[in-house]
Structure 1
Amino acid sequence: MDDQTRTELEAAAFRALRAHLMDKRADVQNIDMMNLAGFCRNCLSRWYQEAANARGIEMSKEDAREIFYGMSYDDWKSQHQTEASAEQKTAFTKSFAENVGPKD
């Protein structure tokens, strides 16, 4: 397989993952994804931002989230995010440290 085809297939897989998380499973909470899989929608938007920045495209965290979520992050949270339990928050602290690093 040539590099262009591989890149196109990877991009299609990313778009399918995004659509699944945003359209079919908006009910799945980011904190649960992070606690179970070590990444969430915010990680995907951060990776998008990092890829843009690496290519010299200026993009803020908020810009990347708006592109990924299709709306402002505050709108997404108000429409889909529920309050996390104490257990979820404790698990998140551990998962975030293991998978992302210290919180800024």
Structure 2
Amino acid sequence: MAIDDKTRTELEAAVFRRLVQHLRSRTDVQNIDLMNLAGFCRNCLSNWLKEEADAKGAAMSKDDSREAVYGMPYETWKASFQEKASPEQLATMKKAESGH
């Protein structure tokens, strides 16, 4: 399939927005589970967003990027939805050594 760069960018942006919306709706899915299964989490997405903003010279703080992904301040999300990681989850994360 051949598509122009503008259309590709628009499609990629739409997919990103859908992914973020999906993750916002699945507060039952913990970041540690995402990291253990996929090697990335909501924080990774927010870090990547900030890195891209920095590369473009756009003003975005870490708090701004996290709120863009979480849909609320990160501390609010943690207090509302983050569960304590189990010993098994922590062991899996340590074994994977994904850099998180």
Normalised TM-score (structure 1): 0.86
- Aligned pairs for 1:54-93 (under 5 A) are 54-93=55-94
Q: Percent identity?
A: 59
- Please say if 1:9 is aligned against 2:18: no
Structure 1 residue 68, shift from structure 2 partner: 1.4
What is the TM-score with the length of structure 2 in the denominator? 0.89
Q: How is 1:44-55 mapped onto 2 (pairs within 5 angstroms)?
A: 44-55=45-56
Task: Structure 1 unaligned segments of length 5 or more: list them.
Answer: none
State how far apart, in whole Å, the 2-side matches of 1:34 and 1:12 are: 23
Q: Which amino acid aligns with 1:22?
A: R
| Per-residue CA distance 1:52-77 (angstroms, 9 max, x = gap) | 01101132222210121121111001
Aligned mates of 1:67, 1:18 — CA distance in 2: 9
Q: Give unmatched runs, 5+ long, in structure 2.
A: none
Instruction: Give the total of aligned pairs.
Output: 98
Structure 2 CA distance for aligned equivalents of residues 90 and 80 of structure 1: 21
1:91, distance to aligned residue in structure 2 (A): 1.7
- Alpha-carbon RMSD across the aligned residues, in angstroms, is 1.4
CA distance in 1, matches of 2:95, 2:49: 24
- CA separation in 2, counterparts of 1:68 and 1:21? 8
**2:36 aligned partner:** 35
